[in-house]
Each structure stands twice: as structure tokens, then as C-alpha cells.
């Protein structure tokens, strides 16, 4: 059986890239799950709950350089059914989308909220609504740390759920650059988490 650390790593590299995660834990000669296997699985569950239990971006304001039907008009963008703030509202049924001719764009998440000027995180989770297909082909993530923007992660596809482990940072803002997309980008989720040691 794999250790808790190995299981969490496999989870983030499978489920975190939109795939299934088959544990394939067989019963022993007694017809039971072996105690060591059960302990590793419980440890994995506890680690995942501790890491992914609190979304640090939930409810944070988000702006975009393009919003479907509003273009760059900020006032219309905020009230659009495709507003960028839909990415941090925890509702899988709401999305941010761009105009049809847009393939490159940027989202900015303001992490200053509830009297806290920054967020401390090391996991970025992005999601696309698969009902519209997997569209994003390449993205980058930047964090503003002590007033300076720095790249902390990048990837190719997003799909239903993409977990991007990043170096632990304390930032006041986050930018997602969509550098290439097969069709107008649509994002349903931007979440931030802090792993537990």
C-alpha cells in the first residue's frame, strides 16, 4: 500500500487533471481491507479534507479584461450573467465567459477581503464547465507578492478540475492568463487552498 503522501500526490495528478482515481484496494485473505491499507486511506482523506476544506478565494472579487456581451465595459461586465465574479461564487452552474472572438484573456482575483489583506496558499484549482467542451489550451498563473507580480504556475488544459500545485505564497492578488483557447474561454471555478504539513 502507498503512503498518505503518495496517495495525495496520485490524487492531485489524476483527479487534479480531470481523470478518475481508482484506488484498487483488494480485501485480504480474511475478506477485509488490511489495517495498513485502511490507515493510509483514512490518512489520505484527512489530508485532502484539511487541504481542500477551505477555499481561500471564495467570494473574492474578480475582474476580467473581457466579459461576454460586455466587452471591456466594466459596469456592464459586473452585472452580466457571465461576470468574472462567477468564478469564485462556489456555484458550478454560473460561469465567466468571453465574447466569441476572444481566445487570449486575463482574470484578476483580489484576495484582500474580510479584513485580511492577503491569502497564503500553495494550490490553485481551476475549472471549466464540460457541457461547453474543454476549451483552454494554455494558461499561466501570477501572484502579486509585496507589490510585485511573479509567475507561480502554468499548464495546458484545464477541464472539469485542474489542481496546480504552486510554491507557497502570500499574495494580495492573483492573475490567470489564458494564453490559448480552442474557443471562447469559459471558466466556472477559481479556488485557492493551503496544504497542511
What CATH number is associated with residue 189? 2.60.120.260
Question: CA 62 to CA 83: how far, in whole Å?
Answer: 8
Question: How many CB atoms within 10 Å of residue 131?
Answer: 8
8 Å CB contact between 67 and 77: yes
Task: Please give the model's pTM, rounded to 2 decimal places.
Answer: 0.91
Q: Report the domain count for the chain.
A: 2
8 Å CB contact between 128 and 187: yes
Residue 67 belongs to some domain of the structure? yes
Task: Judge if 82 and 129 occupy the same domain.
Answer: yes
Indicate whether 51 pLDDT > 90. yes
- Mean pLDDT value across the chain: 92
Question: How many CB atoms within 10 Å of residue 170?
Answer: 13
The residue range of the domain holding 17 is 4-52
Task: Judge if 181 and 110 occupy the same domain.
Answer: yes
8 Å CB contact between 58 and 86: no
Specify which residues 139 forms β-bridges with. Answer: 155, 178
Grid coordinates in use for 187?
Answer: 471558466
* Per-residue model confidence as pLDDT tens digits over 13-49: 999 988 888 888 888 899 998 999 899 999 999 999 9
Amino acid at each position: 500500500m502507498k503512503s498518505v503522501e503518495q496517495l495525495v500526490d496520485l490524487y492531485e495528478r489524476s483527479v487534479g487533471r480531470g481523470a478518475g482515481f481508482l484506488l484498487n484496494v483488494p480485501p485480504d485473505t480474511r475478506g477485509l481491507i488490511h489495517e495498513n491499507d485502511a490507515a493510509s486511506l483514512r490518512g489520505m482523506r484527512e489530508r485532502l479534507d484539511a487541504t481542500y476544506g477551505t477555499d481561500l478565494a471564495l467570494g473574492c472579487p474578480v475582474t476580467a479584461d473581457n466579459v461576454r456581451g460586455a466587452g471591456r465595459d466594466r459596469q456592464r461586465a459586473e452585472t452580466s450573467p457571465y461576470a468574472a465574479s462567477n468564478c469564485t461564487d462556489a456555484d458550478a452552474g454560473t460561469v465567466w465567459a468571453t465574447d466569441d472572438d476572444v481566445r487570449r484573456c486575463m482574470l484578476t482575483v483580489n484576495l484582500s477581503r474580510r479584513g485580511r489583506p492577503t491569502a497564503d496558499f500553495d494550490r490553485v484549482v481551476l475549472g471549466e464547465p464540460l457541457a461547453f467542451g474543454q476549451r483552454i489550451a494554455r494558461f499561466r498563473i501570477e501572484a502579486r507578492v509585496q507589490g510585485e507580480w511573479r509567475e507561480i504556475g502554468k499548464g495546458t488544459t484545464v477541464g472539469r478540475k485542474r489542481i496546480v500545485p504552486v510554491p507557497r505564497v502570500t499574495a494580495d492578488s492573483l492573475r490567470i492568463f489564458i494564453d490559448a483557447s480552442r474557443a471562447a474561454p469559459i471558466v466556472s471555478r477559481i479556488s485557492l487552498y493551503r496544504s497542511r504539513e
